């Protein structure tokens, strides 16, 4: 058996239901913790408030993503159709008046770029994919995707202390409180 | 067929202000627990497949391989002439099939996106399967226009790639719009579908026992761990995608309809096409969702998740959209008559009475008349009737495209070139092949992926509400807030 | 691809027996020229296997001038494959690689030689066009246009045959020497064309071999007219003087020609071509001719007629005699006429009488000698100045009856066939020609095809095509045309004159090579007796001034009474009319795929012949299923709706005509049947020439023997042999036929299956007479004004566009200030003869697709020859108006096809052309859907690579039979891309010719510049504009009636096309969609007799009654 | 329960994405350079060996022969023909220039003449097969006469042929390259007399020949032209040179 000291990730506590989790979250928030999170099998309404998380900034990213798509399409169409090589098709004008014909593609590229921004923006914000995580080492944590509700408070949090944090979790109704360690 | 529905009890008594709340049917019956939901849905993926699955899968896979694989091989090696298209009907079955499939591919995104935006919580039980259907239908649809071109090996001419010839695409062509629209639609639908599935893949991952499963589901679950900081972004992303998909889904079929509407062809050149096509797509898409979900519901015992309420809701949408489509048909006829354009009038006269009258009759009776049965609750409750009407609608929607494309092209402007169009064996083979491919992919989807959105279904349970247990404990959440929250729920659900 | 194919073939010099021969003048000329002659064809006939022939032919294509050959296609490597430029070793004079050379020549036909201008590329003839320098030149028909394909026919006879077995040329030469030395009683059978050199040689032969006899025979030349006009005489009509024409079953614009028809068409234009300028005025009714036609079944001539009387063929003579009686010719009394006929006869006679010397009566060649005598008598009575009887050189030749008699009597020891006919197949059935042939010890057959006669003769000699051999011929009026070869015989064929010369000499064939001219050349030179300079000039012009001497008519009327004695047909005893086929003529073009695929101008049938009956007869005989209505109607809610259902015989690939059995005397024939509108009741029309070989088990044709093929791949299993019903007595008309239904149906490939315009004002027609239109009485002038306002156009507001077709600088997009191309098609003179269609096929490398594909609706002809029947609601439903309408790409200025192409493969040029970049096309076919005129054609298969003639072959794709290296490919125009599969194609106004002309104009500017300082020279748009009307497109030059006008809109009134478009008759097809087509149509004008409009209500109203 | 995925897997997706991106970029770059810049069908610098090592440098530069002596149809037809063997023979025939050079053996074989005796060998002529250097696609119909007759020199497309000991391809001959000139022909126009002068230099020529823009076609009226740019524009207007960009110009 190795005697290496493992790095502590934090405390994990289970809660009975969404309501209990909600209430517990408020308390952890009020206790001033920063590096902690709630875990649940489905999104719980209002938990963001209870945890004190700000609204996601994803919409702003997507807006600029969409804008990029829009201008890409406009530039692509206008430059190729009007500036570089205008062709005479059905006597349609080869100048600014031809832009209405590009609307469908401008729309589609706006959506396409927005879609990609959403996907990659989301992954970036969530810092996923992350396949290895200390919490996965916890046996009970596997129930988080089924019917488990958890709160984990990380050791990185300045307010974290081995004893009082555990006590806090117990106080707010956490069960099966477990010290989660990094595996290596 | 009798369906044993357990009438839901009145919701648990809540303190606080009394609100005039109508009693609602529950979306999940028999007060199933979270774990029951997980077990039931993941069970579909984890348990050995019923015999019926194999009995369906093997023939479908063979049909797909022969029909699509063999059909396309012959087509590409020999030429488009193996199809029935002629110098008169330059588009025939292939484009009919394309529009048919792309139409089917609309319900999925629609259910996911529009119903999400309008807070129709009943969508949660069906949206996953419907989205999968979208993806697979778009795959099937994509085959047709791609291989329909005479020189498929030159199809990259459609992509605006800088090239030494300095020649570009024609951005004024509806067909190029189509290329952009369909590929965008496919991409965004795929993102939507995949993102929606990530938490459920995590569920399966966490339940998996085998190493291969652990690895593969683990890879696609992206390391999801249900953290609320993730849920927060995730919900926003989902909302954004829904908001993007809604206009997209409307645009795609509008653009497909532009292929026809922007032409000068009598019978095509009509401004009613975009809304009419979109309504038709929703109509056909919902019918296809029902056609597939009703049997799946039986096979996998998902009756408590896909309830009669779901089916009833969908039947009502079919009735509504079917009536819109019927209105469009009649309006077309009226405009042809009222417009006093000889060729337009003739085109519609020939649709009604010409050599393809049977296709018109099939379209009218399947699309307009058969859904009218859904005015009666009895019919909406009888699954045999629902299934029958849905089959009719599937057939009718195919004929709608047939009427628009083939009937029009075989009797166009100059009688000197009128010629009847016959599909060839390869046409039929490829169409049947795509049906096989669609079913094969769908069966594989049932086999390997969660067919119902586990996370969202859990969320529709009443106890998922953090305020479910008692409200007093939340002094900072005033009664007004609760009322507003309830109102919001009502607004969305009263419709359903 | 193996490398050996591309190697330059090496053949010893003395064996180079096929070579390019460009102009006789040069051949005749200096030794230097001989040095310059270049070998083109490396093959050695008779010693190569079929495969080797194919290979070397392929090499031939690759060796053209600067064209390149690929070696070691570097598929594995990414390197560019090495290709070679193989220049001539000794460059021949005049040949500029890639540039065509034009030579004058002529095609001999029974109706009179056709003066031609042949286009050659590096020695390959690729296209024939009328020689417009010739005073008699009046276009070409479809047969002439397609005859060039016969030259390259892969199934052409290539081998000498002895008793049907392949033998060597040496064998034959030995036999010929023997024969020429001691031929015994020798006979020669020639075609019906008139060749002065042949006549001279025959004269010499008669001197050399006392008792030698010359005959003439072609299946469809019965020479009945000679009974009235005298032996060897023919009637030549000067149509330009003919004010009134009565045609008694004479298809003078179509299949039986009577002199040049140019004058007819000019008169049809009613003086609008005054002052030598086309369309300088409107059609003036008083200057138009009036054309009466009496016929049983529609002919192209009948379609042009102002008044068409529909009677059975047997009754034509009765009508003629009634007219003759009206005019005061003493004739036996004719049979009973109906009231309507009486009126028609009386008014027609009155009209003819009034025109006097400017009237002419023509009798059809299928009609009896009696009718010809009647016609001659009427002409004489009228004092017709436009009908001239001339003595041709053919009087010297004995006719077929004599040949048969001589053969039967065993009076011939040697018989030489040099006729294009195929007597074993096409001689009357009762003659039993094959048995007769056995009575002649030595028979030598000279022919392009190893046909039935070739197989039955003791010797067959592959003949040289008229583009490969020396010869001469005469036009209908007697102008002496020179036939000069464009190329040495591809397969070592022997010319007719060479064979005759061999008999005149010691029997050795002098075929000529690059060193020595052939015997035919000497023969022609000896005939014309011209000094070298004059000879060169004559070759350049293609003709020598000459004309036939006028002859006196015999004035005989001895057979008139007999001609009136024809039984009245009934449904149990039908009248049979044997007709020349518009695709294979008498059967000689059976292997010509262009003609086979060109739809019959009337029935629109391709690849087959069928029996035609009138709708009423079909109903009476109970022939089911056949659609007998022009615009079929269905009762819907008690109302008749014209709803264009599928014809009952099926449509498209499922069109299957019912089979009937026609019994005539002892003989019977199973043949499919179709309804023909405007045909006389109780008659059945059987086109001849088909059914030359069938191996599909059907009984209606000669059984095809693979070991002794009598017909090539093209003609195999096409049509039914109606010759077997034909006897010497009933060679054109027979009576007493019965029909019974056979429980069978036959797939037919029709290019048009709906025959009416269904109320759409497409092909427009007006009348010089007053007409009631929607209860308004409209004079000719009013109708003329209303042409552009017919149908939808009457109430559509003008199209307005919210966008202006401008570029970034606000200048119009179609901006070229030198050329703006446009075309006008004059329906007034278009007969619908297919000549343009075939010319287009030749010029633009349009592939043949085969019967299966045509049936599906995938024919590739860029010109679709629509033909509509129209009846007025009060008019005679059984005798509709027939009006053709050629539709090709109309080059819309606002072309709907362009905007929908996603890859910019079809865009507009600055000159108003709707260009098609084949190499950019990916084949979405959207353009074709959006084309209102349906003028686009798609290559559904690799028609150029795969052989479409083998059944189902195209569907086999890469496993199918190929046709690469097939001789037909030598005909290709090198200036037009050969399209691959998956590519859209269509008419672009022969853009290759336009570009060529524009470049030529630029070359001229430089030549001007070289004298002076080029920087001081100013070139303007006007200098770069090609001379007015100097470019002719292929269809235009082929057109016999000048119906197509093409030119530059910027030439203003100088250009014929602009004047045509300024005509009030001008209208745009489907004008109201706003496509602004550059091709417009000119409405047809009918010139009816006022007195007859009460019975002929359809005349001039083909569209005008349409709302 | 332990983590199924090892710790290093956390950065795998990012690494893979970067790798994939790099590879895609590399492919794109390769295509851009080799496909776009130098399309393999039109390799600039392609310089194959020829059956006879004919040197343009000697014939044109040293001997001063005109292009049209050999490429005789360049003014008249679409093709600038490669000379037939008898043209070479005009100078290199028996007892003429270099008639004994072994390099000329293929020429003598082509003419079927014995190089030593000058008599006919009586053998089958072995046709000369020159390796094609400049090739455009079969469906593009380039016409030499249309260009040289309008003041476009051989040099514009074929480069400094007079300097070439062995001919190579100087320009890429792609459609885009064609279009460049069709869009701005003024870069290549020169006096028609100088089209075949491969030593021509616009500025030198203009220095010797006074060309005055008297009509103000380029700039100010009466200005003396000095550069190719100005001169080209002047000639373009003067000669009404309007090269087309529409498909039918080259594709039929």
The pLDDT tens digits for D146-161 are 999 888 999 999 999 9
The pLDDT, as a whole number, for residue C50 is: 44
The pLDDT, as a whole number, for residue D35 is: 61
Chain C residue with the nearest C-alpha to that of B406? C929
- Based on the number of CB atoms within 10 Å of its own CB, is D25 exposed (0-12), middle (13-18) or buried (19 or more)? exposed
Residues of chain A contacting residue D175, judged by C-beta atoms under 8 Å apart: none
Chain A interface, best mutation among C799, C800, C802, C808, by max A CB count within 10 A = C808
Q: Is B47 in CB contact (< 8 Å) with chain D?
A: no
Summarised one tens digit per residue, pLDDT across range C499-511 is: 999 888 888 888 8
Q: Cβ–Cβ of D246/C908 closer than 8 Å?
A: yes
In chain B, residues 37-66 whose CB comes closer than 8 Å to chain C: none
Query: Quick check: is A65 in a domain?
Result: yes
CB-based contacts of C98: which residues, under 8 Å, 6+ apart? C65, C66, C121, C974, C975, D77, D78, D79
Instruction: Find the CB nearest B164 among D4, D5, D174.
Output: D174
- Based on the number of CB atoms within 10 Å of its own CB, is C1099 exposed (0-12), middle (13-18) or buried (19 or more)? buried
Residues A67 and A103 reside in one and the same domain = yes
Chain A residue with the nearest C-alpha to that of D5? A132
Quick one: pLDDT band at residue B23, thresholds 50, 70, 90? Answer: low
Chain C residue with the nearest C-alpha to that of B264? C930
Query: Quick check: is A3 in a domain?
Result: no
Which residues are registered as beta bridge partners of D212?
D224
Instruction: Find the CB nearest B151 among C896, C936, C983.
Output: C983
Distance CA B50, CA B54 (A): 7
Q: Is D179 in CB contact (< 8 Å) with chain B?
A: yes
Summarised one tens digit per residue, pLDDT across range C362-405 is: 998 888 888 888 888 899 888 888 888 888 888 888 888 899 99
Report the complex ipTM. 0.89
Does the structural domain C157-232+392-462 have CATH classification 3.40.50.740?
yes
Chain A residue with the nearest C-alpha to that of D15? A129
Distance CA C1085, CA A11 (A): 101
The total of structural domains in chain A comes to: 2
What 3 state SS string does chain A have?
CCCCCCCEEEEEEEECCHHHHHHHHHHHHHCCCCCEEEECCCCCCCHHHHHCCCCCCHHHHHHHHHHHHHHHHHHHHHHHHHHHCCCECCCCCCCHHHHHHHHHHHHHHHHHHHHHHHHHHHHHHHCCCCCCCHHHHCCHHHHHHCCCEEEEEECCCCCCCHHHHHHHHHHCCCEEEEEEECCC
Picking from C781, C799, C875, C928, the residue whose alpha carbon sits closest to that of residue C1096 is C875
Cβ-based contacts under 8 A for chains A and B: 222
For chain C, the chains sharing at least 3 beta-carbon pairs closer than 8 angstroms are A, B, D
The pLDDT, as a whole number, for residue D5 is: 82
Residues A46 and A136 reside in one and the same domain = yes
Q: Cβ–Cβ of D191/C915 closer than 8 Å?
A: no
Residues of chain C contacting residue A88, judged by C-beta atoms under 8 Å apart: 805, 813-814, 898, 907-910
Distance CA C421, CA C107 (A): 16
Instruction: Find the CB nearest C887 among B262, B341, B414.
Output: B414
Does the structural domain C765-805+816-1092 have CATH classification 3.40.228.10?
no
Domain boundaries, chain D: 138-249
What's the pTM?
0.89
The pLDDT, as a whole number, for residue B495 is: 52
Helices (H), C965-1105: 991-1011, 1021-1024, 1034-1038, 1056-1062
Residue numbers in chain C where pLDDT is lower than 70: 1-80, 257, 964-967, 1107
Chain B: give the shortest CA distance to residue A33, in Å. Answer: 14
In chain C, residues 606-645 whose CB comes closer than 8 Å to chain B: 634, 636, 641, 643-645
Q: Is B353 in CB contact (< 8 Å) with chain C?
A: yes
Residues of chain B contacting residue D5, judged by C-beta atoms under 8 Å apart: 218, 223
Q: What six digits make up the tokens of C84? A: 């070679």
Q: Which fold has domain C567-748?
A: Barwin-like endoglucanases (2.40.40)
Output the CA angle A113-A116-A120, nearest 5 degrees.
140
Output the CA angle C175-C181-C183, nearest 5 degrees.
80
Distance CA C278, CA C431 (A): 51
Q: Cβ–Cβ of B78/C957 closer than 8 Å?
A: yes
Q: What six digits make up the tokens of C144? A: 């002439």
CB-based contacts of C121: which residues, under 8 Å, 6+ apart? C64, C98, C99, C100, C101, C973, C974
Which residue did the predictor score with more confidence, B460 or C64? B460
- Map out the domains of chain B with their CATH numbers: 29-150+168-464 (1.20.1630.10)
Q: Cβ–Cβ of C907/A89 closer than 8 Å?
A: yes
Domain boundaries, chain C: 1-152+477-529, 157-232+392-462, 234-389, 567-748, 765-805+816-1092
H or E segment to which residue C308 belongs: strand C307-310
Chain A: give the shortest CA distance to residue C899, in Å. Answer: 5
Residues of chain C contacting residue B354, judged by C-beta atoms under 8 Å apart: 643-645
Q: Cβ–Cβ of B164/D4 closer than 8 Å?
A: no
Q: Is C901 in CB contact (< 8 Å) with chain A?
A: yes
Peptide bond into A8 cis (omega under 30): no
Structural domain of A114: 58-126
Summarised one tens digit per residue, pLDDT across range B92-135 is: 899 999 999 998 888 788 878 888 888 777 788 788 888 898 89
The pLDDT, as a whole number, for residue B393 is: 93
Query: Quick check: is A2 in a domain?
Result: no
Query: Quick check: is A1 in a domain?
Result: no
| In the predicted structure, residue D40 carries a pLDDT above the cut 70 | no
Which residue did the predictor score with more confidence, A4 or C1103? C1103
Q: Token match 């798509």: residue?
A: A69
Chain A: give the shortest CA distance to residue C803, in Å. Answer: 7
Chain C: give the shortest CA distance to residue B161, in Å. Answer: 12
Q: Is A84 in CB contact (< 8 Å) with chain D?
A: no
Chain B interface, best mutation among D3, D5, D171, by max B CB count within 10 A = D5
Residues A75 and A164 reside in one and the same domain = no
Instruction: Find the CB nearest B233 among A19, A80, A125.
Output: A125
Residues A171 and A150 reside in one and the same domain = yes
Q: Cβ–Cβ of C757/B411 closer than 8 Å?
A: no
Q: What is the mean pLDDT of chain B?
A: 84
Q: Is C995 in CB contact (< 8 Å) with chain D?
A: yes
Distance CA B123, CA B111 (A): 6
DSSP state of C694: B
- Based on the number of CB atoms within 10 Å of its own CB, is C419 exposed (0-12), middle (13-18) or buried (19 or more)? buried
């Amino acid at each position: 058996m190795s005697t290496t000291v493992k790095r502590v990730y934090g405390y994990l506590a289970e809660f009975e239901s969404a309501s209990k989790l909600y209430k517990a979250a408020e308390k952890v928030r009020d206790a001033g913790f920063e590096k902690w999170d709630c875990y649940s099998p489905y999104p719980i309404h209002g938990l963001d408030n209870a945890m004190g998380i700000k609204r996601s900034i994803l919409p702003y990213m997507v807006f600029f993503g969409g804008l990029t798509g829009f201008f890409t399409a406009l530039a692509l169409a206008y430059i190729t159709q009007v500036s570089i090589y205008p062709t005479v098709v059905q006597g349609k004008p080869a100048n600014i008046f031809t832009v209405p014909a590009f609307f469908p593609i401008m729309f589609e590229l706006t959506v396409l770029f927005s879609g990609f921004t959403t996907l990659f923006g989301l992954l970036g914000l969530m810092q996923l994919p992350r396949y290895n995580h200390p919490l996965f080492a916890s046996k009970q944590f596997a129930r988080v995707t089924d019917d488990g509700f958890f709160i984990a408070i990380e050791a990185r949090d300045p307010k974290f202390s081995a004893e009082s944090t555990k006590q806090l979790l117990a106080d707010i109704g956490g069960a099966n409180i477990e010290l989660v360690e990094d595996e290596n | 067929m009798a369906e044993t529905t357990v009438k839901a009890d009145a919701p648990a008594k809540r303190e606080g202000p009394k609100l005039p709340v109508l009693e609602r049917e529950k979306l999940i019956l028999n007060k199933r627990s979270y774990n029951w939901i997980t077990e039931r849905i993941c069970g579909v993926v984890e348990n050995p497949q019923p015999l019926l699955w194999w009995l369906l899968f093997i023939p479908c896979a063979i049909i797909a391989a022969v029909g699509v694989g063999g059909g396309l091989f012959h087509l590409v090696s020999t030429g488009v002439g193996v199809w029935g298209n002629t110098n008169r009907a330059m588009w025939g079955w292939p484009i009919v099939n394309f529009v048919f499939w792309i139409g089917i591919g609309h319900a999925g995104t629609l259910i996911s996106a529009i119903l999400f935006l309008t807070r129709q919580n009943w969508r949660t039980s069906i949206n996953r399967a419907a989205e999968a259907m979208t993806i697979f239908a778009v795959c099937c649809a994509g085959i047709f226009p791609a291989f329909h071109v005479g020189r498929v090996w030159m199809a990259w001419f459609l992509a605006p790639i800088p090239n030494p010839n300095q020649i570009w695409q024609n951005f004024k062509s509806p067909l190029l719009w189509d290329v952009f629209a369909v590929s965008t639609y496919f991409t965004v639908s795929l993102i939507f579908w995949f993102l929606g599935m990530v938490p459920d893949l995590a569920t399966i991952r966490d339940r998996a026992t085998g190493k291969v499963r652990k690895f593969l589901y683990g890879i696609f679950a992206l390391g999801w761990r249900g953290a609320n900081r993730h849920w927060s972004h995730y919900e926003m992303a989902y909302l954004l995608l829904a908001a993007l998909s809604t206009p997209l889904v409307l645009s795609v079929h509008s653009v497909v309809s532009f292929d026809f509407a922007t032409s000068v062809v009598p019978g095509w050149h009509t401004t009613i096409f975009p809304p009419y096509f979109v309504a038709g797509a929703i109509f056909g898409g919902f019918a296809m969702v029902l056609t597939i979900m009703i049997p799946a519901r039986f096979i996998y015992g998902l009756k408590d998740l896909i309830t009669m309420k779901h089916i009833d809701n969908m039947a009502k949408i079919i009735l509504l959209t079917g009536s819109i489509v019927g209105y469009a048909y009649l309006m077309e006829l009226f405009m042809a008559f009222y417009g006093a354009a000889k060729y337009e009038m003739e085109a519609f006269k020939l649709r009604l009475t010409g050599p393809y009258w049977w296709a018109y009759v099939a379209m009218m009776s399947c699309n307009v008349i058969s859904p009218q049965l859904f005015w009666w609750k009895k019919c909406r409750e009888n699954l045999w009737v629902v299934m029958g009407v849905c089959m009719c609608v599937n057939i009718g929607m195919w004929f709608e495209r047939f009427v628009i494309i083939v009937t029009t092209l075989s009797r166009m402007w100059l009688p000197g070139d009128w010629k009847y169009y016959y599909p060839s064996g390869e046409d039929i083979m490829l169409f049947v092949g795509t049906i096989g491919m669609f079913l094969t992919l769908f069966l594989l989807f049932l086999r390997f992926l969660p067919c119902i959105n586990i996370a969202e279904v859990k969320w529709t349970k009443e106890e998922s509400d953090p305020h479910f247990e008692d409200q007093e404990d939340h002094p900072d959440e005033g009664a007004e807030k609760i009322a507003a929250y309830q109102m919001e729920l009502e607004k969305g659900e009263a419709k359903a | 691809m193996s490398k050996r194919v591309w190697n330059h073939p090496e053949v010893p010099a003395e064996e180079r027996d096929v070579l390019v021969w460009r102009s006789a003048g040069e051949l005749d000329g200096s030794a230097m020229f001989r040095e310059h002659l270049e070998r083109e064809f490396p093959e050695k006939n008779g010693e190569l296997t079929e495969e080797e022939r194919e290979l070397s032919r392929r090499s031939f294509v690759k060796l053209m001038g600067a064209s390149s050959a690929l070696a070691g296609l570097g598929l594995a490597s990414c390197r560019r494959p090495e290709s070679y430029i193989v220049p001539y070793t000794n460059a021949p004079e005049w040949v500029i690689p890639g540039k065509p050379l034009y030579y004058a020549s002529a095609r001999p036909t029974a109706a009179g030689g056709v003066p031609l201008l042949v286009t050659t590329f590096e020695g390959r003839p690729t296209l024939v066009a009328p020689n417009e320098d010739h005073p008699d030149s009046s276009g070409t028909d479809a047969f002439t246009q397609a005859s060039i394909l016969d030259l390259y026919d892969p199934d052409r006879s290539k081998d000498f045959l002895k008793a049907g077995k392949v033998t060597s040329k040496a064998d034959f030469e030995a036999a010929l020497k023997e024969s020429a030395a001691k031929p015994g009683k020798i006979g020669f059978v020639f075609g019906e064309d008139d060749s002065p050199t042949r006549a001279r040689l025959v004269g010499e032969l008669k001197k050399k071999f006392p008792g030698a006899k010359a005959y003439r025979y072609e299946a469809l030349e019965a020479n009945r007219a000679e009974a009235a006009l005298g032996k060897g005489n023919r009637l030549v009509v000067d149509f330009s003087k003919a004010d009134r024409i009565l045609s008694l079953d004479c298809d003078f614009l179509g299949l039986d020609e009577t002199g040049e028809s140019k004058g007819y068409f000019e008169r049809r234009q009613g003086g609008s071509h005054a002052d030598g300028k086309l369309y300088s005025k409107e059609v003036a009714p008083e200057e138009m001719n009036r054309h009466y036609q009496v016929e049983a079944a529609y002919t192209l001539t009948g379609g042009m007629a102002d008044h068409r009387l529909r009677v059975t063929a047997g009754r034509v003579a009765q009508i003629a005699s009634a007219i003759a009686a009206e005019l005061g010719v003493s004739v036996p009394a004719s049979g009973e006429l109906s009231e309507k006929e009486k009126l028609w006869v009386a008014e027609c006679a009155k009209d003819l009488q009034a025109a006097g010397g400017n009237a002419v009566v023509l009798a059809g060649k299928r009609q009896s000698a009696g009718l010809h005598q009647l016609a001659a008598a009427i002409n004489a009575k009228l004092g017709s100045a436009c009908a001239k009887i001339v003595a041709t050189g053919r009087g010297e030749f004995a006719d077929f009856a004599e040949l048969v008699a001589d053969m039967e009597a065993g009076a011939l020891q040697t018989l030489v066939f040099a006729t294009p006919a195929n007597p074993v197949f096409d001689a009357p059935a009762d003659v039993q020609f094959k048995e007769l042939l056995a009575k002649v010890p030595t028979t030598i057959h000279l022919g392009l095809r190893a046909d039935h006669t070739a197989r039955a003769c003791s010797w067959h000699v592959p003949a040289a095509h008229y583009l490969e051999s020396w010869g001469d011929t005469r036009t209908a009026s007697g102008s002496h045309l020179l036939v000069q070869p464009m190329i040495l015989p591809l397969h070592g064929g022997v010319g007719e004159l060479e064979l005759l010369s061999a008999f005149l000499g010691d029997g050795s064939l002098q075929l000529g090579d690059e060193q020595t001219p052939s015997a035919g050349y000497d023969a022609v030179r000896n005939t014309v007796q011209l000094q070298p300079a004059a000879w060169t000039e004559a070759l350049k012009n293609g003709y020598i001034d000459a004309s036939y001497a006028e002859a006196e008519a015999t004035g005989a009327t001895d057979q008139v009474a007999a001609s009136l004695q024809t039984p009245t047909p009934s449904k149990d005893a039908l009248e049979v009319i044997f007709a020349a086929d518009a695709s294979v003529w008498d059967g000689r073009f059976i292997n010509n795929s262009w003609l086979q695929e060109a739809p019959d101008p009337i029935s629109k049938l391709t690849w087959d012949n069928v029996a035609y009956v009138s709708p009423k007869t079909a109903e009476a005989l109970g022939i089911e299923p056949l659609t007998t209505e022009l615009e079929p109607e269905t009762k819907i809610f008690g109302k008749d709706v014209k709803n264009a259902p599928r014809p009952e015989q099926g449509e498209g690939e499922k069109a299957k005509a019912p089979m009937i059995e026609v019994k005539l005397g002892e003989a019977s024939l199973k043949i499919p049947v179709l309804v023909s509108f405007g045909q006389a009741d109780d008659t059945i029309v059987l086109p001849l020439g088909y059914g030359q070989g069938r191996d599909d088990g059907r009984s209606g044709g000669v059984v095809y023997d693979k070991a002794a093929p009598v017909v090539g791949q093209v003609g195999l299993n096409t049509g039914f042999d109606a010759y077997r019903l034909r006897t010497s007595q009933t060679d054109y008309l027979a009576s007493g036929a019965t029909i019974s239904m056979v429980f069978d149906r036959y797939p037919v490939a029709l290019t048009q299956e709906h025959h009416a315009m269904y109320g759409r004002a497409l092909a427009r027609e007006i009348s010089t007479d007053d007409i009631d239109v929607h209860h308004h009485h409209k004079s000719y002038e009013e109708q003329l004004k209303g042409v552009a306002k017919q149908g939808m156009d009457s109430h559509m507001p003008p199209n307005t566009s919210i966008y202006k077709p401008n570029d970034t600088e606000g200048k119009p997009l179609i901006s070229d200030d030198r050329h703006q191309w446009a075309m006008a098609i004059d329906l007034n003179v278009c007969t619908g003869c297919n000549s343009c269609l075939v010319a287009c096929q030749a010029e633009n490398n349009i592939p043949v697709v085969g019967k299966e594909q045509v049936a599906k609706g995938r024919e590739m002809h860029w010109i679709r020859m629509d033909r509509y029947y129209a009846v007025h609601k009060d008019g005679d439903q059984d005798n509709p108006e027939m009006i053709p309408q050629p539709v090709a790409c109309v080059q819309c200025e606002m072309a709907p096809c362009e905007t929908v192409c996603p890859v910019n493969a079809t865009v507009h040029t600055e000159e108003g052309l709707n260009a098609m970049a084949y190499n950019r096309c990916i084949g979405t076919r959207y353009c074709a859907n959006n084309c209102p005129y349906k003028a686009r054609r798609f290559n559904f298969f690799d028609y150029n690579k795969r052989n479409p003639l083998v059944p189902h072959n195209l569907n086999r794709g890469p496993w199918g039979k190929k046709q690469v290296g097939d001789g037909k490919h030598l005909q290709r125009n090198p200036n037009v891309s050969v399209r691959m599969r998956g590519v859209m194609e269509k008419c672009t106004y022969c853009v290759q010719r336009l570009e060529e002309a524009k470049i030529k104009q630029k070359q001229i500017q430089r030549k001007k510049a070289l004298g002076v300082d080029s920087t001081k020279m100013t070139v303007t748009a006007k200098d770069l504009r090609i001379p007015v009307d100097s470019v002719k497109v292929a269809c235009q030059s082929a057109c016999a009636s000048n119906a197509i006008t093409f030119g530059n809109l910027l030439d203003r009134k100088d250009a014929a096309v602009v004047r045509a478009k300024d005509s009030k008759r001008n209208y745009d097809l489907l004008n109201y969609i706003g496509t602004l087509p550059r091709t417009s149509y000119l409405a047809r004008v009918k010139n009816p007799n006022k007195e007859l409009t009460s019975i002929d209500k359809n005349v001039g109203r083909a569209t005008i009654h349409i709302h | 329960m332990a983590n199924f995925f090892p710790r290093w897997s956390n950065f795998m997706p990012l690494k893979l994405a970067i790798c994939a991106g790099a590879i895609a970029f590399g492919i794109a770059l390769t295509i851009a350079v080799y496909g776009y810049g130098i399309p393999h069908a039109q390799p600039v610098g392609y310089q194959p060996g020829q059956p006879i090592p004919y040197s343009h440098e000697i014939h044109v530069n040293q001997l001063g022969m005109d292009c049209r002596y050999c490429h005789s149809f360049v003014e008249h037809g679409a093709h600038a023909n490669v000379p037939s063997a008898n043209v070479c023979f005009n100078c290199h025939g028996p007892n003429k220039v270099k008639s004994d050079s072994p390099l000329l053996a293929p020429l003598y074989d082509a003419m079927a003449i014995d190089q030593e005796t000058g008599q006919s060998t009586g053998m089958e002529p072995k046709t000369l097969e020159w390796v094609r250097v400049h090739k455009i696609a079969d469906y593009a119909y380039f016409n030499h006469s249309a260009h040289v007759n309008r003041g476009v020199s051989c040099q514009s497309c074929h480069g400094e042929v007079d300097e070439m000991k062995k001919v190579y391809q100087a320009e890429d001959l792609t459609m885009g390259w064609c279009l460049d000139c069709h869009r701005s022909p003024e870069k290549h126009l020169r006096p028609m007399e100088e089209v075949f002068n491969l030593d021509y230099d616009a500025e030198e020529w203009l220095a010797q020949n006074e060309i005055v823009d008297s009509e103000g076609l380029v700039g100010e009226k009466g200005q003396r032209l000095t550069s190719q740019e100005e001169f080209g524009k002047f000639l373009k207007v003067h000669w009404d040179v309007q090269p087309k960009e529409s498909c039918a110009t080259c594709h039929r």
